[in-house]
Amino acid sequence: MKATERLYHLLRSYDDSDVSMQQFYAVWCEGIAVEEALSILDADPDSGVPDSFGGWGSGSDGSGGGGLLVGTTGAWLVLIGDYRCTEDEILCALSQPDRPTLAISWDLHGANELKYARAGELITTIDICDTNYRSGSDPAALDPYLHDLRFNIDEHIPGEPMVDPRESFTSAMIAIGRMVGADLDKDWLDATHTSYAVRADSEW
């Protein structure tokens, strides 16, 4: 395993059934109360049960009925769910009135994005496999956290190996860890958090 791909392989290791990690969706929001986040995500607060990432779902994306896994790292609330938790409107709602909110959206057959919202506005969206594709009110806002990280899978730099998407994913996770102050590491993934049910027909 390459060190530059370590966080991809760490998350991937929680599901022996997959050759590759098909999906992963997570959000970090600073200073929000659990109850408010659950309301925005339309999760049932009475359904909460102790859980860990390893036991939460059958897949590395939490598939298998877990709904929403909620924990904390420092002052940040961490939410792991399906694609709906990383939708633009959800991130903007979580970020109000003035809360930094980060998200990673990873889909082996779809969009792979790093997002940053604050004060109800989507500040930055970056394609983590090609950072030339970016949007938002300030597309360069996360650049201070991207230094020394490699993302672009089609970029060839003489003397360096090509970037694999697993490195792109790990780089995005490292960038989030730099802003949050801690990586989503094995200790966090193995620790006890809380899972909540989300209605399957919920319109987030």
Q: What is the pLDDT of residues 34-90, one digit of tens each?
A: 999 999 999 999 999 999 998 775 444 444 444 899 999 999 999 999 999 999 999
Cα four-point dihedral sign 198, 200, 201, 204:
positive
| Nearest CA among 130, 123, 133 for reference residue 179 | 123
38-63 in b/e form (b: 16+ CB < 10 A) is bebbebeeeebeebbbeebbebbbbe
Nearest residue to 120 via CA among 105, 135, 136, 143: 136
> Residue ranges of the domains in the chain?
3-196
Q: Reduced to 3 states, what is the DSSP secondary structure of residue 42?
A: coil
Tokens of 142: 């996360």
Please state which of the ranges 72-81, 125-134, 178-187, 190-199 shows the lowest mean pLDDT. Answer: 190-199
